Amino acid sequence: MSQSPAPVPFIDALRDAADLRLPGSGLAWLDAARRENLEAFIAAGLPDTRAEAWKYTALRALGQRRFALGDAQATGHLVDPHALALPGIDGPRLVFVNGVFRADLSRLETLSQGLTLQPLSKVLQNDPEPLRFALSRHYREAGDAFARLNAALAGDGVVLRVAPGARIGKPVHLCFVGTPAQGDVAWHVRNVIEVGEGAELNLVEHHLATASHKHLGTLVSDIVVHDGAKLHHALLQNAGEESTLIRRGSVHLGAKAQAMMHVLEIGGTLVRHDLHAELRGDGARFDTRGVFVLRGRQHIDTQLSIRHQALNTASESIWRGVADERARGVFRGAIVVAEGADGSDASLNNKNLLLSPLAEIDTKPELEIYADEVKAAHGATVGQLDERALFYLRSRGLPRAEARALLTAAFCRAVFTALPNETLRDHFSDALLAHLP
């Protein structure tokens, strides 16, 4: 496709991005990868709704906006560390404000044995070589636009390693804070996380804002869970209500590896969440539980894809969506069972509540099966609250709004019953309730 006739401000703002000094600039391999990804992003531009992966999420409005290339004052913003705390989470913490690492807000003194936890900016300064493979990747797929942009411009993020056999007791808290700055900022964060053989890790990823802002954040997380390792990942996305967040996580699981992910998405005005899991080793298991609750003009597009590539792998996905007011929720849940992945057991369940005549839900569960010794099933529904249940609550004296909130919360809460950290589970419930209209 040749260049579009009208200039796209979003792309236009990247014109000088190639000259940007980022952590790691000067490393020949990194410079080359960044340059190539930037060129590829600019050449392809933002995807439009004709691309299947963006069918329900139009980026035209985003294309008309101009973002500053990072926030130069990011280390200076005043952020109350208490606002970052999550109940029940008192382990190591890594904090990024507008995409930049903040040592003053982080807690890295008492790391358990076997845990390496550093900001990417520091690793790029001191010992970048081990990241060479992960960071020189070129994203070539049509749907990879933002991964390219991220690869071109990310200068910070999380580098986390758990040594083989290490069991990290206290959850690691990753905190991404958006805060108002001069103008609208685009920040890009890149996480590289590795859980060694037989190791265990608890991860809490938390997106929040200190005040309203209109930044764009992109986050790419590559997670590898080696043979026999276990990962529990809880994601609380409560980003600024006018912010845009594009998150892409990929999880690769080795033999008998297990990963469990809990996701609660309530923040942001435009959120895109891509989550790809590849079950590469025999006996691997990947479970996700997720909820999005939307109101106002929020638009959240969740794209879950799970690929069974080895024998006797299992995955179970349970997702709930609620859209009220003028919100639009998009869910795609794709399960692929590759040729030879016999004994795969995959299920996906997606239920949605549509609460307003101006809201919309688009859901698309998919199955692609290339092996025959499999059990694969998916179900999806879109509906509304049970009038009889509402009536029952109202007959007990509950005001309509309250009854509605109670039923909606109950609809979502089931998803978090398996969240191991009880205090965190309660916090998720509270955050959810607080977000209900």
Partner 1 sequence: MTIENDSPVVLRDNAEVAAALGRRYEAGFVTDIETDSLPPGLSEDIVRQLSALKGEPEWMTEWRLKAYRHWLTMPMPNWAKLNIAPIDFQAISYYASPKNKPKSLDEVDPKLLEAYDKLGVPLHERAKLAGVAVDAVFDSVSVGTTFRKELAEAGVIFCSMSEAIREHPELVQKYLGGVVPTGDNYFAALNSAVFSDGSFVFIPQGVRCPMELSTYFRINAGHTGQFERTLIIAEEGAYVSYLEGCTAPMRDENQLHAAVVELVALEKAQIKYSTVQNWYPGDEEGRGGIYNFVTKRGDCRGDDSKISWTQVETGSAITWKYPSCVLRGDRSVGEFYSVALTHHRQQADTGTKMIHIGKDTKSKIVSKGISAGRSSNSYRGQVKVEKGAEGARNYTQCDSLLIGKKCGAHTFPYMEVKNPSAIVEHEATTSKISDDQLFYCRSRGIGEEDAVSMIVDGFCKQVFRELPMEFAVEAKKLLEISLEGAVG
The residues binding partner 1 (CB under 8 A) are: 52, 56, 339-340, 342, 352, 354-357, 359-384
Find, among 263, 194, 180, the residue nearest to 229 by Cα.
194
Only one residue has tokens 């003053």, namely 104
Coil, strand or helix at 426: helix
Tell me which amino acid residue 47 is.
P
Q: How far is the CB of 373 from partner 1 (least distance, A)?
A: 7
Q: In terms of CB distance, is 373 or 422 closer to partner 1?
A: 373
Q: How far is the CB of 296 from partner 1 (least distance, A)?
A: 16
User: Do 206 and 179 meet the contact criterion of CB atoms below 8 Å apart?
Assistant: no
E strand or H helix at 40, and its extent?
Answer: helix 28-44
Q: How far is the CB of 420 from partner 1 (least distance, A)?
A: 30
Q: How far is the CB of 410 from partner 1 (least distance, A)?
A: 18
Q: In terms of CB distance, is 133 or 370 closer to partner 1?
A: 370
Longest dimension (CA), the chain: 70
Tell me which amino acid residue 370 is.
Y
Residue 40 backbone phi and psi in degrees, to 5: -65, -40
Residue 14: burial class (beta carbons within 10 Å; 0-12, 13-18, 19+)? buried
What's the CA gap between 367 and 56, in Å, rounded? 19
Count of residues in the chain: 437
Q: How far is the CB of 204 from partner 1 (least distance, A)?
A: 32
Residues in Cβ contact with 424 at an 8 Å cutoff, skipping those fewer than 6 apart: 86, 87, 88, 89, 204, 234
Q: In terms of CB distance, is 210 or 356 closer to partner 1?
A: 356
Q: In terms of CB distance, is 91 or 365 closer to partner 1?
A: 365
Q: In terms of CB distance, is 80 or 387 closer to partner 1?
A: 387
* Positive or negative torsion for Cα 379, 363, 253, 96: negative
Q: How far is the CB of 329 from partner 1 (least distance, A)?
A: 10
Q: In terms of CB distance, is 170 or 378 closer to partner 1?
A: 378
Q: In terms of CB distance, is 131 or 354 closer to partner 1?
A: 354
User: Do 257 and 225 meet the contact criterion of CB atoms below 8 Å apart?
Assistant: yes
Q: How far is the CB of 284 from partner 1 (least distance, A)?
A: 20
Q: How far is the CB of 370 from partner 1 (least distance, A)?
A: 5
Q: In terms of CB distance, is 107 or 378 closer to partner 1?
A: 378
Beta strands in 84-226 (DSSP E): 93-97, 100-101, 115-119, 158-162, 172-178, 185-195, 200-209, 216-225
Q: In terms of CB distance, is 231 or 306 closer to partner 1?
A: 306
Only one residue has tokens 């590289």, namely 192
What's the CA gap between 212 and 178, in Å, rounded? 8
Q: How far is the CB of 389 from partner 1 (least distance, A)?
A: 15
